[in-house]
Amino acid sequence: MIVTIWPLLAAFILAWSVAGLVLRVGILDHPNQRSNHAQPTPRGGGLGIVVGFFGALVFIPVMAPTDGAALFGLALCTVMAAGLGFVDDLVTLNERPKFAVLSLISLALAGMTGPVTDLGFALPWMIGWLGSALFAFTLANAVNFMDGSDGLMAASLIPAALVLAILGEGPFMLAALALAASLAGFAVWNAPLLSARGRLFSGDVGSLGAAVILAGLALVWASRAPSGSVWLVPLLVLPLLGDVLLTMAARVKAGRSPFVAHRAHAYQLLIALGMSHGRVAMIWGGMSVGCGVLALVANAVSPMAGLPVFVLAVIAFSVLHQAWRRKARAAGLDTWQ
């Protein structure tokens, strides 16, 4: 029990304290065309998530060399992703070189924590490596895009991390719990708990750093899990991935560029309809908890239950996503932005 508690305490306290220091420094996020805030707000608080996670790693015992190698690769890629995000928070990088560097980080992460080569049928190593990297790259960008509403990132990623902890074992179980604790420490400043708005934004340092940690832990588990279990991984982050991918598809269908800054995500439309940031975070958190429960049930039933459960969840989320967009159009909002 002592071994389990110390990493969590270290992660929470470090994340809370470092994020608090960043709040005092005051690296400001100025509103732009896709922002959901009207006043400059401190950002970069996600540095606390990364520092909290690394602080917890000190207390996590690692016995097997393969586990140590995977955790080292995860840590290395997290440093690179968080560093990239922190630089972007300070000077705002051009998107093309930023995407290129993030692609290389995703390839490295997939190679050192995976790759996943079994989807219920065997894949060539190269295909599995590229597919695993694509998952990491997509998740990192999805978390970055969705980190525009107070509390939403933590509400979505904490349930996913907790489920990975339940599914995992050894140092990876503790690492997933440490990620959840770090997100909770940051959420003290970011979530709209005692007021309508949070006081501190994560910034790219937090969204990219947390996404890479979660993606790496998910790849470690999926690469070692029974055949067919891999489909539980995208299920855990469906509320984040679904909103981003369905919104991009809708914009492409309407002849709009999916890469131009916009305010067309479902969570942004709900805020434009008058829903509070706290309620939006609760909705995404509730969906994430639901997806986590589905993943645990499917895993308990059979590894091969992952795919049909994932497909049903995608259909259900797609129907809900379209309902929100129809509601926004009926209210006269531009759902293409």
d(Cα 10, Cα 19) in Å, to the nearest integer? 14
pLDDT (0 to 100) of residue 312: 98
What are 232-252's pLDDT values in tens digits?
999 999 999 999 999 999 888
Instruction: Give the residue-averaged pLDDT of 276-280.
Output: 94
Which pLDDT score is estimated for 91? Answer: 87
Task: Please give the single-letter amino acid code of residue 127.
Answer: I
Beta bridge partners of 41: 29
Half-sphere exposure of 41 (CA within 13 A, CB side): 21
The HSE-up count of residue 270 (CA atoms within 13 Å, CB side) is: 22
Q: Which of 140, 115, 98, 147 is nearest to 224 (CA)?
A: 115
For residue 91, CA distances in Å to 8, 27, 29, 137, 261 come to: 33, 11, 11, 22, 18
> In the structure encoding, which two tokens stand for residue 256, read together?
């709009």
Residue keyed to tokens 């501190």:
200
Whether the Cβ atoms of residue 331 and residue 274 lie closer than 8 Å to each other: no
Tens of pLDDT, residues 148-201:
899 999 999 999 999 999 999 999 999 999 999 999 999 999 999 877 788 899
pLDDT, tens digit (0-9, with 9 covering 90-100), for 100-145: 999 999 999 999 998 999 998 999 999 999 999 999 999 999 999 9
Residue 36: pLDDT band by 50, 70, 90 thresholds? low
Question: Which pLDDT score is estimated for 2?
Answer: 45
Percent of the chain with pLDDT over 90: 77
Q: Name the pTM for this structure.
A: 0.94
- Compute the average pLDDT of residues 88-98: 88
- Separation of first and last alpha carbons in the chain: 51
Nearest to 142 by CA among 224, 253, 242, 219: 242
